[in-house]
Every structure is written in C-alpha cells, then in structure tokens.
Structure 1
Amino acid sequence: MIRMGVSILGWGLLVAGVLASAVLLILRLVPELHTWHSSVIAVASFIPLLWIPVLVACVGLILVLRARWRLLGAAVLVAATTVFAVPLLPAPERSDTPIEVGSTLTVLSLNLQYGQADVEQFTSLLTEDVDVLALQEYTPTFEENLAEAGLLEQFPHQAGSADTDASGTMLLSRTPVELAARTEGTAFENLIVTTTVDGTTWHLGAIHTAPPQMGADRWSDDAAAVGRLAEPYLDQNLLLVGDFNAIDQHHTMRELTSDGAVHDLAARGPGGGPQWHPTWPAGSWIPSFARIDHALASDGVLGGVTRFETVTGSDHKALLVEVAARP
C-alpha cells in the first residue's frame, strides 16, 4: 500500500515536472511565442525558475524507479543540480590590470508604485555621489513629499512629468538637463535627456514600458519604441534605466540587446556574483522572482548595478547604478 502511494506521488511529480519544464524550455528557446498573448508573457516570467520543475521531475523519477534503478534517478538529480548550480558559483577573479575610464555617473532608479514609495526610506539611499534620480510612476503627491524633504533643492534640474496614474516619469538631476527625445504613443512616458557631469556628456533615459496586462501587442510595441528612442544615441555615452516590464529572457529584452549595441549592466561579469537579482514583486508575501528593472548601457559605458534595495510602498526594488565613460 505504501509502495503504491509512493509510486502515485512519484508519477505525479514526474509528469508535472516534465510538463512544466518543457513549457519553460520552449518559451526560453522560442521567445517569439511571447508576443502571442499576455498569459504567455506571464508564464515566461518564470523561465529563471526552470530548475524547480526539473528537480521536481528528478525527485519523481527516483520515487517511480525501483531497487538499483533509483541510483540512475539519483545520478540524474545530481547532474541536474550541478547544471543549475554552476552559473551561481563565483566567476574567475577580475584582472588586476586597471581599466582607464573618464567621468563617472551614479543614478538611482525606482518605480514608485503610483507614488506610494516611502520618501524617508528613499532618501536614506541617497549619497553625495548620486547624480540623477530616475523615477517611474511619479505623481504630484510624491513630488510634494520630495519638496518637503528638501530633495528638489538638491536635484533642482528636471525633465519629465508627474501624473496621478502610472504614466508619470521624471528625471531629477544635480546638473542641468536638456530633453533630447521622448516616445510618442507609449502607455507611459519614456524620455532621454542630456547632461554633463565633470566635463563628460551623458545621454540618460528613464524607461517605463507597458506591462503584459495591457496586452501582448502593446507590450511589444512599447519595447520597440524604446529601441527607436535609443537608436540615435548608441554611439554616445548612453544609459537607459527603469522598469522594462520584462526579464532578460523575454522577447522584448532580447530584441533590445540582440545586436550588442547595448548591454545589461546587471548581468554577471568576470569576477561577479550571481546574475539573477529579482526586482519584482518587492515588499510582498510573494518572494521576488522577476528582474524587470534594468540598466542598459552603450558599448562605451562601463559599470554595473551596485545595489538592489527595497523601499516600503513600492512593489519594485530600487537600482543604484554606477557607470563610467571610456575616455
């Protein structure tokens, strides 16, 4: 009786694990499928968790097999665990040879969730090194809170707009900014400004694309609009930060980075740690599982995302981005 129960459990885990693994693997290998429907986009968000159904299937296989054959199942489990664990191991140490760089730029980016982010906690993340704030879902109420906290005096130069819904996007800077370009027809405001820090000119974009809930077409169209927005500045010191509403493996992010014109600053580099830093949802009983907030930079920009911080009131983590321009 016990053996029958174990067998039934094993088959259940095996079938469920294999089916879930197959779905995620197909979505990983054929990203064009993501544009079919918003539900497909949502399922594809779990691609980084592919290891879970694979290990579930392996456990099911062990329970189904009998006697010495279980050793085969155990071997498969060890092999699968190794495959998924290797990318999380520390990479080789960086070279001691210094890379010559020019001016540096530090940006703090956060989706404020309708302006509900706690201003005091947000302020605690700021240091004198932070040059620019890139804020999505920026509302008039949050702007008033910033003014009361004295932050608008520290960052007196701005580009963008405040809105009562999720469409407000704002760049606040210590140095003067000039609006270079903005998207038209996107769900939320996306813009690029130019600013000069320590003699180096930067093209900085605040990005907030449509979420999958607005439909697959709107989701992919907004991402394409961001690509067109950035295209004229790819040979400059370009940095795009914000809420892209897509993980690295989603079709839209692959399209943005496929030609190598921009690279993901949160991706794992030589000597770096794990590359998976989920940013959503934050501050919830659901653990963060999707990195939909990104920092993309042009080829002449070096650096990375140095911190991922939770701010009460926001369902996204804040990104502190530090970059330098090649001289």
Structure 2
Amino acid sequence: MAAAVLIAAMVVFAWPLLPEEERSDIPIAVGNTLTVLSLNLQFGQADIEEVSELITSDVDVLALQEYPPGFEEALAAAGLLEEFPHHVGTADTDASGTMLLSRTPLELVARAEGTAFENLIATTTVEGTDWHLGVIHTAPPQMGADAWARDGAVVKDLAEPYLEENLLLVGDFNAIDQHHTMRELTGGGDLYDLAARGQGEGLGWHPTWPTGTWAPSFARIDHALVSSRVRGSVPQFETVAGSDHKALIVEVAARIE
C-alpha cells in the first residue's frame, strides 16, 4: 500500500514536468527583434553592478518590479538612466514600485486598478515595429487566496484589449504554470508562455525563485507571455545578487503577416 501511495504521488507531482506536445501554431518571426530585461529587485536590493553587466547594447527595455527611489538613484549613478531616458511607472519605497525604462519613447496605455502592486502596459516602437509591453507584479498567495485570484483576473482583463497586438507581458506573476491564475491567463490560447516546454526539450524546468538562500530555486513564478502575433525563444535566466528572483532576458519578434 505504501508503495502504491508513493507511486501515485510521484505521478501527480511529476506530470506537470513532462514534455508537452510540440506546438505547430507558433508564428514565424520576421524583421527586427525586441529584447527586454525583467527583474524583481527585492525592494531595490539587487546588486547594481550585476544588473549593469546584464544590460548589453541589445537590451531595448528594462521591466523592473519592487522599484524604489534608491534604486533609481543607483541607475542614475551608473549612467543607465541616460541610456534608458524614457520611463513609465512609479518608484515606491515598498514592493509596489514598478517601472518600464526604454531607449525609445514610451506611452502608457493601461494601468491596473486595485492590484496589490502596480501593473501597467505601455507602447513603444523599436526599429519600425510597434510593441505593447506589460510589466506585471501580482499579489503573492501569502496575501490570501482572494487577493491572489483577484490580481490574476485583473491582469487578464488588463491584457485583453491588446491580444491582437504585438504584446509581451513580463514580470513576477507569483504563480507557476499549473496554478489557477496562470492557467486562466494562458488557457484560452491568446497568450502563451515562452518558457513552456516543447517536444524534445526534456523537463524544461526553469525555476526563478527563490535565489540567494540555502535552498535551490524550485518555482518559476517569473514569466514572459506573448500574444499569437509574437514569437520568441525560451528566455535567458540569470541570478543577480541581492534579489530573490532570477532575471529574465527575453528576445521576441513579430510574426509574418
């Protein structure tokens, strides 16, 4: 009986890690690419030197969560605000601060109402291609099931008007693929996760949290979701000292019409 229970438990917990069927409907990319660096700064404690090392000339936009005024000062001291002069979002002393910083002009088009932290979508144009970029930071389950589910639903509503655009949502979703909030976002097929497993990719396990502790990372709660108009490869995941999340470096392109 004990062996049967153990086998059943292994099946239940291993099933989400098995490779998925190969997707045949991923659009073909063409033309210019967009590269975004996303990171939860853990109240701005992320090491500015390590963050700077990740910001190569290829990075077009920074999507930062838990963004306080102090980290903005660190970016300025490092000369990065000069490289990314266009800003949309809010610097805050608690976890609420959320900011998009771009080399190209940004226009705020949507801001979530009633979420625990700031969630927003802005537009920019990179080398002739128009993009809708969302930086996401939803309530963690520790705030309670109601707040967790509400924030997920608000983010879904936030993205809905832009599903026919070149849309990229990045950030700390505080949920893994199998959680209800993520399944609600991706279950309809309008958004897909760039780190979702494909045929021949093995387990495809890309945990992003926690880092900087005695325990290894075990949960991928940081995501990059794109609309059907966009394609991209699995993000690059990088550990940054001072943050409890890994950074995501995401490269995407628009599909052929």
Whether TM exceeds 0.5 here: the answer is: yes
Find the residue that maps to 2:217 and give its secondary structure: coil
Aligned counterparts of 1:261 and 1:296: Cα–Cα separation in 2: 10
Contact 1:305/1:319 (<8 A) preserved: no
Q: Which amino acid aligns with 1:254?
A: R
Give the structure 2 partner of residue 80 of structure 1.
none
Contact 2:29/2:231 (<8 A) preserved: no
Aligned counterparts of 2:18 and 2:246: Cα–Cα separation in 1: 26
Aligned counterparts of 2:59 and 2:17: Cα–Cα separation in 1: 35
Give the structure 2 partner of residue 167 of structure 1.
96
Counterpart check, 1:119 vs 2:61: no
Give the structure 2 partner of residue 87 of structure 1.
19
**Inter-CA distance 272–129: structure 2 relative to 1 (3 Å threshold):** farther
Of Structure 1 and Structure 2, the greater helix share is in 1
Give the structure 2 partner of residue 297 of structure 1.
226
**Residue among 17, 39, 42 paired with 2:6:** 17
The superposition leaves residues 246-304 of structure 1 with CA deviations (integer Å, 9 ceiling, x where unpaired) of: 00000000000111000001112355454210000011111111000000000010103
Give the structure 2 partner of residue 218 of structure 1.
147
Q: Which amino acid aligns with 1:157?
A: H
What is the percent sequence identity of the aligned residues? 70
| 1:84 CA drift (Å) | 9.1
| 1:326 CA drift (Å) | 1.3
Q: Which amino acid aligns with 2:97?
A: G
The superposition leaves residues 218-261 of structure 1 with CA deviations (integer Å, 9 ceiling, x where unpaired) of: 00000000000000000000000000000000000000011100
Give the structure 1 partner of residue 135 of structure 2.
206
Aligned counterparts of 1:220 and 1:180: Cα–Cα separation in 2: 23
Q: Map residues 23-102 of structure 1 onto 2, 5 A cutoff.
A: 25=12, 50-51=13-14, 87=19, 99-102=28-31
Give the structure 1 partner of residue 244 of structure 2.
315
Aligned counterparts of 1:152 and 1:216: Cα–Cα separation in 2: 38
Give the structure 2 partner of residue 143 of structure 1.
72
* Root-mean-square deviation over aligned CA pairs: 2.5
**Residue among 184, 189, 193 paired with 2:118:** 189
Aligned counterparts of 1:269 and 1:198: Cα–Cα separation in 2: 30
Q: Which amino acid aligns with 1:87?
A: P
**Residue among 84, 87, 107 paired with 1:155:** 84
Aligned counterparts of 2:65 and 2:197: Cα–Cα separation in 1: 25
Find the residue that maps to 2:95 and give its secondary structure: coil
Aligned counterparts of 1:219 and 1:15: Cα–Cα separation in 2: 34
Find the residue that maps to 1:305 and give its secondary structure: coil
Q: Which amino acid aligns with 1:17?
A: L
Aligned counterparts of 1:269 and 1:132: Cα–Cα separation in 2: 27
**Inter-CA distance 100–171: structure 2 relative to 1 (3 Å threshold):** closer
Aligned counterparts of 2:66 and 2:116: Cα–Cα separation in 1: 12
| 1:314 CA drift (Å) | 0.4
| 1:103 CA drift (Å) | 2.3
Find the residue that maps to 2:19 and give its secondary structure: helix
Q: Which amino acid aligns with 1:189?
A: E
User: TM-score by structure 2 length?
Assistant: 0.91
User: TM-score by structure 1 length?
Assistant: 0.72
Give the structure 1 partner of residue 174 of structure 2.
245
Aligned counterparts of 2:80 and 2:46: Cα–Cα separation in 1: 15
